[in-house]
Structure 1
Amino acid sequence: MRHLSTIVSIITVFAVHISAIEFKSLDHIKTKTRPDDQAAAVTALIRRLIPERAAAFTVVVNPSLGPPRLDTFQIESSNNKVNITGTTGVAAAWGFYHYLKHYCGCHISWAGNQLNVPSTLPKVQPALKITSPNRFRYYQNVCTVSYSFVWWNWTRWEREIDWMAMNGINLPLAFNAQEAIWHKVYLKMGFTQKDLDTHFGGPAFLAWARMGNIHGWGGPLTQSWHANQLQLQHQILKRMRDLGMTPVLPAFAGHVPNATVRLFPKANIINGTIWSKFYKDPQYCCTKYLVPSDPLFKTIGKAFIETMIAEFNGTDHVYNADLFNEMNPVSNDLGYLANASRGVYDTIISADPKGIWLMQGWLFTVNGFWYKEQIKAHLTAVPLGRLIVLDLASDILPVYDRTDSYYGQPFIWCMLHNFGGNHGLYGRLDYINKAVFVGRIFPGSTMVGTGLTPEGIDQNDVMYAFMNDLAWRTQPANVTAWIDSYAVRRYGKFSQQSHNAWRILKDTIYNSMENTKEHNRNAIVSRPSLKSQPDMWYDWREVAKAWPLMINASAELGTSPLYRYDLVDIGRQVLQDISASYYAEFQTVFNKNNKTAARSCLAKILDVLLDMDTLLATDSHWLLGNWLESAKALGTSVKEQKWLDYNARNQITIWGPHAEINDYANKQWAGLMKSYYHRRWSLFAFELDIYMDEHRVWNQTRFNELCLNTIEMPWTFDTSDFTTEPVGDTVKVSRWLFEKYKKDISSRTGDVVEFVDVSSQRWRPNKPYMDNSS
């Protein structure tokens, strides 16, 4: 990023307190919920989280506590109570979690919670008062709803909304049930049920059907699905609003059923462009696109928003629509691009005069179409301040710094971080620690907030905890101090071994200097070939040193569920990387025609896959059965359960009817490693063995077809059950696996790592729960 080092040096001297530009056009974007009702919602959250200690906390929502438009919270002790005051419910919940983290040493994450609240609550005197330097904290990618949220029930949604509030999220995407609304709108317009059955995607693929990338794949949706999602959306919106959030609702982006051509023959409708490899099956590709300048566009879009507002008891005035996601428009004419965005905005305000359009800026990261002139024409056709752009991947592919801060439109600096919900340790701690603040003071900056935009969650908790922490800071954190306190909070106590392990992770795999988005395309979870190029941007030999340290920490941390989760995650990473080293060795010896060595390498890869399955099976978070059973739980009949099970299986494997996006959403789950990835590599080893014996030329195309037809596609249609109960002890299995692979690790690291007795080590930091840099 331009001028990064210079600007960061300025940041460290002068703290930034507010956005460079205030948009009066956004002043009406605020909660409509009464302060007392917001306070009651936060109080209920506290009771859910720590019911035995909830009475020790009082919550007040006072909008005048801080400056307008910026969330503020205050924490103060009095009369054996901890008094939390916030300008909104979100601010109060944020303040509550700030107290739990920095005074009680607690931790809340997707992987679980550590809530050992001290028997005597630490006092906060004088009062601590913190104001967010930016207005919005956004959450979700349009893909997250499919890669992670798709099978959630209200229990899981309630926990996530609590997590959002306690991390200061005040602008979350709320996309559930939009197909149920479209169903009502389209039936009134004369579409038939059959027309809609071929238009809506299946549950696991709704994100891409909504963006017009595909249509119909994985469907049709059932009436029970619509009913379930409607009920959920009512609960989701009510809770978000009760807590003072501004839910972002969907709007019309022009993607219409094929039957629109029949019903409205005079409308300006064109075929959408091909997305990914879906050209193989025309019934799913090239979704019809209604040009926004056509009068029918406003008719349909207005009807959708009005129907949605009526169904969900009003609106909060922010709407998301993405026109050209990973699909270039049919014309790069500046007038065409301006008319397209103006058409979307005009449609929004025709239904809601106070409407604000929020769009993902991901389309502008594509090279070869969106040059500065095209971006400017598209953005500035909307009045300044009435369009918020998510700089969707500021952590790897920022756009704001090459578009003069989106030509005056407000933007949100986002950390995308994860693609496809893949597993793999990854992060850019040092980079985002600086880049967020660069965004705030960039010349002419229109930054109005920060955001989390992962395609999938339930991975790399540390990166999201760090990014959420930056949202209230006015200058960069001391990353070393932060990571030290994070580890103590996460496990509830200090361990020298885990301390040393996290220092290693911080300096290696969580400190990527590359702006790569392909950070977990490991060969082990990719269809086997002779020429895979695993993306290993880090020195895995250094990362591997953290594994025995974490195992040694079991003497002190062994009872912590979060410790055991991390022990699995780190062990999984090291085994994955060991398999990559075997694969690289395989490529070398195969190219030298050393058949014996090539067979030995493949045998080692197969062994690692089984060992990974064994390790993953020891923790409930890493089980394939959870994903499949939560999908089937939404079915109201055996037929519907099979349909949902198929959606769940297809997405995480071949992703499409003919493996169009094969392995994109790969997962490292127990059950999947053994029943799917191990079988693919076994077939590869078997076929390659024949080819080597018969001195043939390897035919990868033939193998791909064989693999698809004999293993991959049959697996997606299989209905075998997988356990939701863990098997084995994480510490014992980890110790056994380390002993098994110790020589391999040592030969590659140059060090012989052994287990040591750490029970006598009693060092403690002076302030174990406080990040002194705050």
Structure 2
Amino acid sequence: MMTSTLLRCCAVIFLTHLFLIGTIGKEFPTLDHIRTKVDDATQQQTVEDMIFRTVGDRFSDFSVVVDSSFLPMGKEAFQLDTVGSKIVIRGTTGVAAAHGFNHYLKYYARCQVSWTVQQVHLPGVLPPVTPAVTIVTVNRYRYYQNVCTVSYSFVWWDWSRWERHLDWMALSGINLPLAFNGQEAIWQKVYLSLGFTQKDLDEHFGGPAFLAWARMGNIRGWGGPLPQSWHQNQLELQHKILARMRNFGMIPVLPGFAGHVPAAITRLYPNASVSRLQWGRFEDPYCCTYLLDPQDPLFSHIGGMFITEMIKEFNGTNHIYNADTFNEMRPQSSEPNYLSKAGAAVYAGMLAGDPQAIWLMQGWLFQARDFWQPAQTKALLQSVPEGKMIVLDLFGEVQPIYNTTDSFYGQPFIWCMLHNFGGNLGMYGTVKTVNQGPFLARKYLGSTMVGTGLTPEGIDQNYIMYELMNEVAWMPQPFQILDNWASDYAWSRYGVKNSNASLGWQILLKSVYDCENGFKDHCDSVVVHRPDLHKTQRSWYKQEDVFTAWDHFVSASNDLGLMDSFRYDLVDVTRQALQEWAYIYYQDLMETYKSGDLIKFRDAAEIFQQTLSDMDRILATHQNFLLGRWIEDAKSLATNDQERSLYEFNARNQITLWGPNGEIVDYANKQWSGLVADYYAERWSLMTKALTTALMEGKKFNHTAFLLDVFQQVEQPFTLANKAYPNYPTGDTLQVAKELHQKYRPRTL
């Protein structure tokens, strides 16, 4: 066993003692009913099935026991032991046992299962666990998902993708996942029964790629209408998702009613009290959603109907519901009394359908500190009895809220790592805060922390940060030496020790993944944002560190090139290196433009465009970096040509214009092959042509005119196009990466 693993095991004795005598954190008896209701045998069978899906016939080398009496109720742990020729995994829940299996894979068998790439080449003889290891988590809940993840990453998934992802969730020790699929089908039943027409609902529901924001009342109707086949598909998926979550021993978080209603509410119920909320730059007919006044009797009535119908449809509930009324929207009043009544109304709507309801709320709204002063924050949080609300400290690794609100004024909270916005792919992390933050939060005077969480807006990026956070959730203390952890990560990710891979990850962990203060717009590369004369690229690391890490990954390719996990990482670090080069060449481009030297400007423009072409080329070599995969997944859910066209438009618009007129343009940018070539590079080509004309004619560049041109000639046409893109990789990752390394690296030396 490696030294880092021994340290984990030794520390666990101390943790177990503290945990069992109940001296860590504040207890909330009001949450005791929030637990799995599935028997141990079912959970055990579900974990055994997952192990078979993961390692095939080698599943017979493992023995699983789920025993909820292993520790007092509410405490979770797993134990690993070797009995005869088998690895015995014992867990208090299916999730705990699954995480125990994953611990064995990573630290004994040196394997790794991640979101989309995995390495599970088990050794012929499994390494024994001697002595037995018991690990107890102090975190009652390990939450997962942002309300936006369902749109930025999961929107086009079928059951096969969901099944694999649910396996990953269990392996990661997650026991409190969001379960939002299919809710529009429930809302359709409720609203139709209240007298709304299907046309009213078509104008209310957003399109598939924009459902997250329609649900939160940010927008209405954009990207729609939703076909009936969509409702049926998502309802069927939700039945399977909930069944599997529950059988693993997870506690699914279902949606609740936050007060946002269709515009036709004023026609059907003319006496209803409503206000309108504005979000971002959206205009009618997509903006200014309708919010039912919390004191209106309809509020709890509609909320109760929805919860009741949902419980009926999905065969019960685990009593926990998410609702976000004022997400990035300013309430109509800052009066504490109004905010208190608004919160009480949301909770009353839940109670009307489930007397044991617990409200889980994203704490993102409190980032708007100009509005949410102590009085306003306290009014909303204390509108619900203590322990009947759980708050997600959503951006805990950068801007925690618990330490400015006296631990959310007594309400239990979950410390979360948000990390990613819009599913952007740039390398980024706040590794030190992630390693230490949850422990500091738990030590905070009067801390009401009850767990940790992962809340990325989009997944399939920066895998290392999520592996670290998932392990921290089960740790008694921070990792002492992150270099050692990075080496262990590389070993498990590729299955063999490799000094170059280890050094590469150590360098990245100390540079791109060590943003001291963190910030939201971390992926502000010139590649993915609208061309501009004055673009700056904030950097908290040295570019040379990225290039040096690239050296190590290329050097490791001869030994590790057969591993898909390594090929993914080689593409990713090459992409990051080319992103750095794009900014270097952008600066050259701007300097030559300012100098007025047309010949040098044209040369600089050609080099810059070549960098984008090279980026597209390396991205094309791995299936996880393909635009075609995203679009084909969208179209695969359609049942006719009209739906295919709608879904493709949704897929294209979300990652580019994000709205009819670029309301949130480039927010959900992706460095994907096809998108780089036909969207980002085309925008820059138009820009360099406009600058060339300006130089030739001796005129000042007209940026306002350019914005109109780029919208009309590149951006909008791209969202309306139906060009087919490869759904499978082209080119050899190793060969292309080496060629590009040989081409670019000497320029830095």
> TM exceeds 0.5?
yes
Normalised-by-shorter TM-score class? over 0.9
Q: What is the identity, as a one-letter code, of the residue corresponding to 1:586?
A: L
Q: Kindly report which structure 2 residues correspond to 1:194-343, keeping only aligned pairs within 5 A, or say none.
A: 194-272=199-277, 274-279=278-283, 282-343=284-345
Map of 2:90 onto structure 1: 85
Cα distance in 1 for partners of 2:13, 2:694 equals: 65
Please report how far the alpha carbon of residue 593 of structure 1 lies from its aligned counterpart in structure 2 after TM superposition: 3.4
Please report how far the alpha carbon of residue 79 of structure 1 lies from its aligned counterpart in structure 2 after TM superposition: 2.0
Cα distance in 1 for partners of 2:746, 2:302 equals: 65
Cα distance in 2 for partners of 1:677, 1:71 equals: 48
Map of 1:161 onto structure 2: 166
SS in 2 for 1:60: strand
SS in 1 for 2:395: coil
Map of 1:484 onto structure 2: 487
Q: Kindly report which structure 2 residues correspond to 1:642-721, keeping only aligned pairs within 5 A, or say none.
A: 642-721=645-724
- Asked whether 1:562 is paired with 2:565, we answer yes
Cα distance in 2 for partners of 1:482, 1:611 equals: 33
The answer (yes or no) to whether the contact 2:593–2:691 under 8 Å persists in 1 is no
Please report how far the alpha carbon of residue 521 of structure 1 lies from its aligned counterpart in structure 2 after TM superposition: 1.5
SS in 1 for 2:143: strand
Map of 1:36 onto structure 2: 41
Please report how far the alpha carbon of residue 742 of structure 1 lies from its aligned counterpart in structure 2 after TM superposition: 2.2
Q: Kindly report which structure 2 residues correspond to 1:337-416, keeping only aligned pairs within 5 A, or say none.
A: 337-416=339-418
Q: What is the identity, as a one-letter code, of the residue corresponding to 2:426?
A: G
Cα distance in 2 for partners of 1:14, 1:79 equals: 29
Please report how far the alpha carbon of residue 596 of structure 1 lies from its aligned counterpart in structure 2 after TM superposition: 3.5
Cα distance in 2 for partners of 1:636, 1:703 equals: 39
**Higher alpha-carbon deviation: 691-700 or 610-619:** 691-700
Cα distance in 2 for partners of 1:501, 1:368 equals: 42
Map of 2:545 onto structure 1: 542
Map of 1:429 onto structure 2: 431
Q: State which of 531, 545, 556 in structure 2 corresponds to 1:553.
A: 556
Cα distance in 2 for partners of 1:594, 1:370 equals: 52
Cα distance in 2 for partners of 1:13, 1:233 equals: 40
Map of 2:3 onto structure 1: none
Q: Kindly report which structure 2 residues correspond to 1:411-490, keeping only aligned pairs within 5 A, or say none.
A: 411-477=413-479, 478-490=481-493
Change (3 A) 1:125 1:655: same
Q: What is the identity, as a one-letter code, of the residue corresponding to 1:397?
A: Q
TM-score where L is the length of structure 1: 0.93
SS in 2 for 1:241: helix
SS in 2 for 1:53: helix
Map of 1:101 onto structure 2: 106
Work out the percentage of aligned pairs sharing the same amino acid.
Answer: 51
Cα distance in 2 for partners of 1:384, 1:600 equals: 65
SS in 1 for 2:69: coil
Q: What is the identity, as a one-letter code, of the residue corresponding to 1:730?
A: T
Cα distance in 1 for partners of 2:601, 2:450 equals: 55
Gaps of 5+ in 1: 1-10, 747-774
Please report how far the alpha carbon of residue 349 of structure 1 lies from its aligned counterpart in structure 2 after TM superposition: 1.1
Please report how far the alpha carbon of residue 14 of structure 1 lies from its aligned counterpart in structure 2 after TM superposition: 8.4
Q: String of CA shifts for 1:167-190, please: whole Å, max 9, x gaps.
A: 110000000010000000000100
Q: String of CA shifts for 1:199-224, please: whole Å, max 9, x gaps.
A: 00000000000000000000000000
Please report how far the alpha carbon of residue 658 of structure 1 lies from its aligned counterpart in structure 2 after TM superposition: 0.5
**Higher alpha-carbon deviation: 534-543 or 583-592:** 583-592
Map of 2:7 onto structure 1: none
Q: State which of 588, 606, 611 in structure 1 corresponds to 2:614.
A: 611
Cα distance in 1 for partners of 2:600, 2:335 equals: 58
Q: Kindly report which structure 2 residues correspond to 1:705-744, keeping only aligned pairs within 5 A, or say none.
A: 705-744=708-747
Cα distance in 2 for partners of 1:29, 1:304 equals: 20
The answer (yes or no) to whether the contact 1:324–1:363 under 8 Å persists in 2 is yes
Q: What is the identity, as a one-letter code, of the residue corresponding to 1:678?
A: A
Number of residue equivalences: 733
Q: Kindly report which structure 2 residues correspond to 1:6-21, keeping only aligned pairs within 5 A, or say none.
A: 17=19, 19-21=24-26
Map of 1:638 onto structure 2: 641
Please report how far the alpha carbon of residue 585 of structure 1 lies from its aligned counterpart in structure 2 after TM superposition: 2.8
Map of 1:5 onto structure 2: none
The answer (yes or no) to whether the contact 2:12–2:134 under 8 Å persists in 1 is no
Map of 1:762 onto structure 2: none
Please report how far the alpha carbon of residue 524 of structure 1 lies from its aligned counterpart in structure 2 after TM superposition: 0.9
The answer (yes or no) to whether the contact 1:514–1:537 under 8 Å persists in 2 is no
The answer (yes or no) to whether the contact 1:190–1:263 under 8 Å persists in 2 is yes
Gaps of 5+ in 2: 1-10
Q: State which of 480, 493, 497 in structure 2 corresponds to 1:494.
A: 497
Please report how far the alpha carbon of residue 483 of structure 1 lies from its aligned counterpart in structure 2 after TM superposition: 0.4
SS in 1 for 2:639: coil
Map of 1:178 onto structure 2: 183
The answer (yes or no) to whether the contact 2:690–2:701 under 8 Å persists in 1 is no
Map of 1:753 onto structure 2: none
Q: What is the identity, as a one-letter code, of the residue corresponding to 1:277?
A: R
Q: What is the identity, as a one-letter code, of the residue corresponding to 1:692?
A: L
The answer (yes or no) to whether the contact 2:589–2:608 under 8 Å persists in 1 is no
Please report how far the alpha carbon of residue 128 of structure 1 lies from its aligned counterpart in structure 2 after TM superposition: 1.2
- Asked whether 1:507 is paired with 2:510, we answer yes
Q: What is the identity, as a one-letter code, of the residue corresponding to 1:708?
A: F
TM-score where L is the length of structure 2: 0.96
Cα distance in 2 for partners of 1:262, 1:185 equals: 17
The answer (yes or no) to whether the contact 1:12–1:475 under 8 Å persists in 2 is no
The answer (yes or no) to whether the contact 1:428–1:510 under 8 Å persists in 2 is yes
The answer (yes or no) to whether the contact 2:12–2:135 under 8 Å persists in 1 is no
**Higher alpha-carbon deviation: 14-23 or 389-398:** 14-23
Please report how far the alpha carbon of residue 695 of structure 1 lies from its aligned counterpart in structure 2 after TM superposition: 1.8
Q: Kindly report which structure 2 residues correspond to 1:576-595, keeping only aligned pairs within 5 A, or say none.
A: 576-595=579-598
Cα distance in 2 for partners of 1:21, 1:618 equals: 50
SS in 1 for 2:523: coil
Q: What is the identity, as a one-letter code, of the residue corresponding to 1:160?
A: H
**Higher alpha-carbon deviation: 443-452 or 585-594:** 585-594
Q: What is the identity, as a one-letter code, of the residue corresponding to 1:400?
A: Y
Q: String of CA shifts for 1:645-686, please: whole Å, max 9, x gaps.
A: 000000001110011100000000111111111111111111
The answer (yes or no) to whether the contact 1:66–1:131 under 8 Å persists in 2 is no
Cα distance in 2 for partners of 1:630, 1:19 equals: 45
Please report how far the alpha carbon of residue 745 of structure 1 lies from its aligned counterpart in structure 2 after TM superposition: 2.4
SS in 2 for 1:75: strand
Map of 2:53 onto structure 1: 48
Q: String of CA shifts for 1:230-289, please: whole Å, max 9, x gaps.
A: 0000000000000100000000001110000110111111111x211103xx10000011
Q: Which runs of 4+ in 1 moved over 4 A?
A: 11-18
The answer (yes or no) to whether the contact 2:156–2:637 under 8 Å persists in 1 is yes
The answer (yes or no) to whether the contact 1:518–1:535 under 8 Å persists in 2 is no
Cα distance in 2 for partners of 1:90, 1:530 equals: 51
Please report how far the alpha carbon of residue 514 of structure 1 lies from its aligned counterpart in structure 2 after TM superposition: 2.2
Cα distance in 1 for partners of 2:116, 2:229 equals: 30
